[in-house]
Amino acid sequence: MALTVTLNGQSRGFDLPPRAPLASLLEQLGLQMDRIAVEQNGTIVARTRWAEAQVADGDRLEVVHFVGGGGPAGCVLPTRRVSSTAHA
């Protein structure tokens, strides 16, 4: 059986039955489970619920992989200036 979901904006098929546990899909992706966050249909899924959360055909998933360290070389991050003096 094949399960088709939109993963990070792209349609992807997985060799999983309908209503498969989210954890099974994540295992097929081969990601380091301790370094990702998952959003399913606009809702963040707590890591403690990955084994029970079911993925249905057509679901929208966003998987974010956390990387240690700063931004890429040459990356300029927006800054906000904070005045140390109050203006009347």
Could you give all domains of the chain from N- to C-terminal order, each with its CATH number? 3-65 (3.10.20.30)
Given pLDDT bands bounded at 50, 70 and 90, which one contains residue 2?
Answer: confident
Nearest to 55 by CA among 27, 18, 29: 18
- Residue 33 has phi, psi (to 5 degrees) of -60, -25
What count of Cα atoms within 13 Å lies in the side-chain half-sphere of residue 43?
8
At 32 the pLDDT is 83
Given pLDDT bands bounded at 50, 70 and 90, which one contains residue 37?
Answer: very high
Average pLDDT (38-45) is 97
Q: Which residues pair with 83 in a beta bridge?
A: none
At 87 the pLDDT is 46
